[in-house]
Amino acid sequence: MLPSKRENDFPPELLTYIRERYHYCPDTGHIWITTKTQCKRTYDRIDKYGYLVSRIKHNKKVYTILTHRLAWFLHYGRFPDQVIDHINNTPTDNRLQNLRDVSVYLNSKRATVVNCPHCGNNIHDDLGKEKAQVTT
């Protein structure tokens, strides 16, 4: 998945709000939000590709962001330069040891390759997009 163009459009006050209210635990991969009365774990939804997506409410607006990119921002203080690769190929595992900032090319090289038992084609499953390659 390509970096979200919307991150560049996030207003500076939203980034300050995120830094003040959200906390990332690199050992578990969980993100916590501190409210006026409590600290609770955020609950994300899973998108059609299997990645966790966070919704951040600020100043009567709702912003969405891939949770692994939010985790990276909270830990390093900046968004990743490229794409985040989940090293163990589990898109819901956002522990820091499982995340790395890599190029789109390197990330696509790690895509799952499946050999179709019916036709013998190799199917490269890159985040749900199939590309067939005929083998002879």
For position 2, what pLDDT does the model report? 43
Ranges in the chain, pLDDT < 50: 1-4, 124-133
For position 112, what pLDDT does the model report? 60
CATH numbers and ranges of domains, the chain:
5-102 (3.90.75.20), 110-136 (no CATH)
Residue 132, CA atoms < 13 Å, CB-side half-sphere: 6
Provide the whole-model pTM.
0.76
For position 4, what pLDDT does the model report? 47
For position 8, what pLDDT does the model report? 73
For position 12, what pLDDT does the model report? 92
pLDDT, tens digit, 9 for 90 and up, residues 125-135? 444 444 444 55
Angle made by CA atoms 14, 60, 78, in degrees to the nearest 5? 15
Q: Which two tokens stand for residue 47?
A: 């998108």
